[in-house]
């Protein structure tokens, strides 16, 4: 389905894709190009309910018949891990101790804290990681736009 081109606030769209809070629900309004945030969800004390809640939120996303908004799925942990693995394989001249620390972190059940610790200890590699990650995020956004037949009036700010 061909859609009318819309003006997109690229910073807002990028923030929606990069938001770590799984309870926030974002959409792109296909009429005005705004990124819409719906509800902040309920505060949850029980982490076991988090997966159920995320599935519930996704089920509430507009179906394909809703022609005015497109759901923006939160970035999955698996995707972040794939990007980190790609980073250590594709980036030349990383400090071997840093690479070993990241690999060890990725073997943990919950690698988040260990990865953050490795990044804090290596500011140069941290900067390189965030540049690499930004490029992957921009590719993901561009793929999402194409999949959803969203045509922006202006190229992304990062292009």
4-62 pLDDT, tens per residue?
A: 899 999 999 999 999 888 788 999 999 999 999 986 543 444 445 555 555 555 555 54
CB 69 within 8 A of CB 62: yes
Q: So where are the chain's domains?
A: 77-135
CB 44 within 8 A of CB 22: no
- Could you tell me which residues are beta bridge partners of residue 7? none
Mean pLDDT of 135-148: 96
> What per-residue confidence (pLDDT) applies to 36?
93
Q: By percentage, how much of the chain surpasses pLDDT 70? A: 81
Sequence-distant (6+) residues with CB within 8 A of 39 are 24, 25
Stronger pLDDT, 20 or 106, i.e. the higher one: 106
pLDDT band at residue 159 under the 50/70/90 scheme: confident
Nearest of 87, 79, 86, 60 to residue 144 by alpha carbon: 79
What is the rounded average pLDDT for all residues in the chain?
84
């Amino acid at each position: 389905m061909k859609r009318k081109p819309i003006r997109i606030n690229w910073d807002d769209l990028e923030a929606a894709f990069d938001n770590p809070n799984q309870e926030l629900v974002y959409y792109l309004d296909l009429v005005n190009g705004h990124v819409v945030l719906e509800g902040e969800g309920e505060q949850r004390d029980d982490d076991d309910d988090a997966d159920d809640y995320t599935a519930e939120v996704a089920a509430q996303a507009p179906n394909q018949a809703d022609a005015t908004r497109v759901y923006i799925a939160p970035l999955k942990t698996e995707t972040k891990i794939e990007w980190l693995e790609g980073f250590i394989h594709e980036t030349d001249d990383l400090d071997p101790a840093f690479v070993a620390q990241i690999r060890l972190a990725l073997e943990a059940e919950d690698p988040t804290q260990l990865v953050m610790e490795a990044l804090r200890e290596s500011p140069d590699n941290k900067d390189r990681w965030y540049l690499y990650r930004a490029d992957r995020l921009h590719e993901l956004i561009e793929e999402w736009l194409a999949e959803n037949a969203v045509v922006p009036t202006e190229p992304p700010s990062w292009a």
